Amino acid sequence: MTNLFVKITGYVGDFFLDFEHKFNTNGITVLYGSNGSGKSTIISVLSGFINHLETKIVLNDKSIENTKKFPPHKRPFGTMFQNPILFEHMSVSQNLDYPIKRNKFLDQTLLSKEELINYLELGSLLNRYPKNLSGGEKLRVALARTILRQSDYLLLDEPMSDLDIKTKAKLLNFLKMINKQFKIPILYVSHSIEEISQIADEIILMKNGKKIISGSVSKILNSSSFQRLIGKFELSSVLEGTLIKTDKLMNMTALDVNGQILIVPGTPGLMDKIVRVRIRSRDIIVSPVKINTHITENELEGIVTKIYTEKNTAFSELVIKLMKSKIKKTPQILRARITTYNLNKIKIAENKKVFIYISSVSIDRQAYQY
Amino acid sequence: MDTFNFSSSDFNAVLITLKLALTTCFFLALIGTPLAYFLAFKSIRAKPFLESIVTLPLVLPPTVIGFYLIVFFSPDTALGKFFIILTGEQLIFSFYGLVLASIIYSLPFWVQPLQSSLEKIGNDTLATSESLGASKFDTFINVIVPLSKKGFLTSFIISFAHTMGEFGIVLMVGGGIHGKTKVIAISIYDHVEQLSFGKAHFLAGGMLILSFIILLTLFYSNKRSTVRIK
């Protein structure tokens, strides 16, 4: 188990950063926050490019002094910056060799160059030069190159902001795979909800240079701090389910969400795979009675645990606990946004049972990988 | 009428000129390169100040630079005294005085093209290299130098050509002593003064052709590059 403690305090220009976190996971930790929340500064401090802040970094009980005496090339972090850069005067193959040549303690048991070429489909690119590569190709090469550094910890600063959905999903899958299989902990900076709901094991929420909250994906994505941060339009919940059936003909998939069935479009993976989907609060229809006509693919049952009525707006927010939890699992939470007018009309109250209708169309296709 | 001939005096001047230009470029590589690196990659408050000092020789009349160099090179100054102790010779009117003067007035011609070429590489490339396990020096040798090959070539060619062609400062600091500090530019001046136009033609024409070939090489090799002389 890799453990990492980071504490950073101080001014970067007129921006004050005050961050402290104990990373206790071998998994993928996502640093989430809007632009200017201090995410990239943390990456720069860890990798050794900002030395003037008061810093304490302890990796696996070894302290890393954040001074120029501990320059980037001697640190145990492998960093990939935003808009990754390949060396233009070297071929793809030479770019990949760059960190290998500089590693005095090359570990043959870790991912090799050949394996990475295989996983990231770089075989046909090896003799080409960076100026002839597309953005996605460059990124794959840069990612492979960073992994070949064989660092103890990978730091990825918004690596996929410019990619199309398909490539992004593939790469996120790849990251999850190398993280699990090769036990490389990853700190992933992102401000894409789709990305984090897919790969995060732990989320750290940043705002104005401060950590607001941290914890598991469902805890954070359903927290009010997160909901406030992303704004009301994007309000959403994340449900986790086990893939139980795929209809190839219709291109639909059924997930088991704590004993209830959720039908989602596409084929997000194989049987028994855990799939996360994000549903926007405004896309949920709530009814106190069961509607006997088939109006949407999905009908779920739940109990309203809390109602928030917003002052001076037309809206109310319902927090619904999903029922029918046969398996011993914490109940999953769904947030629905309806007008206060409708709330009064259909007479929904706290602790009452409700039926939830969700059209599969509104389930975010970007939220899971293909 | 004098003929198109090439005296041993002229031959000496050519040798001295080439020796001066090469020696100057050698020292410029040592001094100007770190300076260009510093100006391109470090953000410090004193940067405009430093840049102004480096560029100064570009805008000052050669006589002004020549005058101050004579003052600083005189045997009464610390530098002048130190040089006499070191070599037993005066710095002023010596070949080394000429080299020192050339380094100063050609400095912007080395620093500027290189600096603009390095700036195009950018700090992100350096950071990438370092985070992949390369030290700063390793990065310089294996990333910066290959990526700024054309910048180095431009700096070398322009500094070389400019050192070869300088007249005013070289005359004031070196005195145009035959076999010692008399370079081609001064020889041509002397020939013209003595109305030996044939000899002047020979040297001037040589310089003209050489300079043209140098610039042609430079622009030809820069055709597809983004490096330009400021």
Q: Does A149 touch chain B (CB under 8 A)?
A: yes
- The per-residue pLDDT string of chain B (230 residues; one tens digit each, 9 = 90 and over) reads 445 566 778 888 999 999 999 999 999 999 999 999 999 998 888 889 999 999 999 999 999 999 999 999 988 899 989 989 888 888 889 999 999 999 999 999 999 999 999 999 989 999 999 999 999 999 999 999 999 999 999 999 999 999 998 999 999 999 888 888 899 999 999 999 999 898 899 999 999 999 899 888 888 877 655 444 44
Phi, psi angle pair for A213, to nearest 5°: -160, 155
pLDDT at res. A274: 80
Q: Does A103 touch chain B (CB under 8 A)?
A: yes
pLDDT at res. A327: 57
Choose from B120, B126, B131 for mutation: most chain A CBs within 10 A.
B131
B132·A49 Cβ contact <8 A: no
CATH number for the region A4-233 comes to 3.40.50.300
Flag whether the pTM goes above 0.80.
Answer: no
B132·A149 Cβ contact <8 A: yes
pLDDT at res. B1: 43
Q: Does B147 touch chain A (CB under 8 A)?
A: yes
What residues does each domain of chain A span? Answer: 4-233, 236-240+276-367
Across residues A208-235, what is the average pLDDT? Answer: 79
pLDDT at res. B129: 96
CATH number for the region A236-240+276-367 comes to 2.40.50.100
Residue A32, both tokens = 């989430």
What 3-state DSSP class applies to A134?
coil
Please state, in angstroms and rounded to a whole number, the distance separating the CA atoms of residues B201 and A37: 70
Please state, in angstroms and rounded to a whole number, the distance separating the CA atoms of residues A5 and B171: 67
Q: Which residues contact A53 (CB under 8 A, 6 or more apart)?
A: A8, A9, A10, A11, A12, A17, A45, A66
Q: What is the mean pLDDT of chain A?
A: 87
Q: Are A5 and A197 in contact (CB under 8 A)?
A: no
A72·B138 Cβ contact <8 A: no
pLDDT at res. A97: 96
Per-residue pLDDT band at A151 (split at 50, 70, 90): very high
Beta bridge partners of A337: A317
Is this complex's ipTM strictly greater than 0.90? no
What 3-state DSSP class applies to A263?
strand
Q: What is the DSSP letter of A216?
A: -
- Is the pLDDT at A171 greater than 60? The verdict is yes
A87·B135 Cβ contact <8 A: no
Per-residue pLDDT band at A232 (split at 50, 70, 90): low
A88·B147 Cβ contact <8 A: yes
Across residues A141-153, what is the average pLDDT? Answer: 94
Q: Does B42 touch chain A (CB under 8 A)?
A: no
Please state, in angstroms and rounded to a whole number, the distance separating the CA atoms of residues A358 and A299: 7
- Which tens digits make up the pLDDT trace of B68-105? 999 999 888 999 899 898 888 888 899 999 999 999 99
Kindly give the pairing relationship between strand A4-12 and strand A62-64. unpaired
SS3 for chain B is CCCCCCCHHHHHHHHHHHHHHHHHHHHHHHHHHHHHHHHHHCCCCCHHHHHHHHHHHHHCCHHHHHHHHHHHHCCCCHHHHHHHHHHCCCCCCCHHHHHHHHHHHHHHHHHHHHHHHHHHHHHHHHHHHHHCCCCHHHHHHHHHHHHCHHHHHHHHHHHHHHHHHCCHHHHHHHCCCCCCCCCHHHHHHHHHHCCCHHHHHHHHHHHHHHHHHHHHHHHHHCCCCCCCCC
Per-residue pLDDT band at A83 (split at 50, 70, 90): confident
- Which tens digits make up the pLDDT trace of A240-295? 888 899 888 888 899 988 889 999 988 777 777 888 888 888 899 999 999 888 88
Domains of chain B from N-terminus onward:
8-221 (1.10.3720.10)
Angle between helices B197-221 and B149-165 (to 10 degrees): 170
Across residues A7-33, what is the average pLDDT? Answer: 90
- Which tens digits make up the pLDDT trace of A86-123? 999 999 999 999 999 999 888 888 889 999 999 999 99
pLDDT at res. A365: 58
pLDDT at res. A237: 83
